[in-house]
Amino acid sequence: MANIATTNYKVTQTGSCKALKDLWSTLQKMEVNSKNIWLYQLAEHYGIDYEKKGISVRGHIYWAEFEAEEANDYYLLSFDTESAWDACSELFEEINHVLGDQLSISYRVCECGCEVYYVHDEGDFFPEEVAVSSSGEPFEDACDDIYTTLKDAINDWCEKMNIEQGERTDEEMMNFINEYEYDDDDTYFYIRQFTFE
């Protein structure tokens, strides 16, 4: 697979929970959490001609969970995918159409190789502002750790590097950190802001 995008999905119902339960039941039958669910198989299950429609299915679901609060009529399906280059959200929109447009689909995408970082949020699931990739001393090895705010990520870097922000704005400081030259070429701390659609 090409550069890998990791996408976190949160899916709720807009009306009846039937569509949401159908999708969860399908994932269970395909043995989600026991093996990868390839997206082309999911498309074929729902009768979607992804080649004809030009929908990318290059990826898989590797984790899913279903939460039900029947007393409040609230259901939440969460799942994570790895896919080539970008999220395969068009596939899930097409599945939503097949199921009668009864799903609200929110997601956050991180793909560090192409610097793809964006959020489509229909339910306030992904308020966090930035992701950080880091390696080498004094940092922990991390691939797209999520920080609530840009200021949190800056403060973490400043604390570990014993460098003060001074008069720099948060944006100036982010650029300073992203361009900082370390003694070891394998050391880095990159802050990437999410674009909110």
**pLDDT tens digits, residue range 45-66?**
999 999 999 999 999 999 999 9
* Start and end residues for every CATH 3.30.70 domain found in the chain: 4-120
CATH number of 4-120: 3.30.70
Q: Which residues contact 81 (CB under 8 A, 6 or more apart)?
A: 5, 6, 7, 9, 39, 59, 60, 61, 62, 87, 88
pLDDT of res. 134: 95
Q: Average pLDDT over the chain, rounded to whole?
A: 95
List, for residues 121-143, the tens digit of each pLDDT value: 999 999 999 999 999 999 999 98
Query: The pTM is what?
Result: 0.93
Question: If pLDDT is split at 50, 70 and 90, which confidence band does 79 have?
Answer: very high
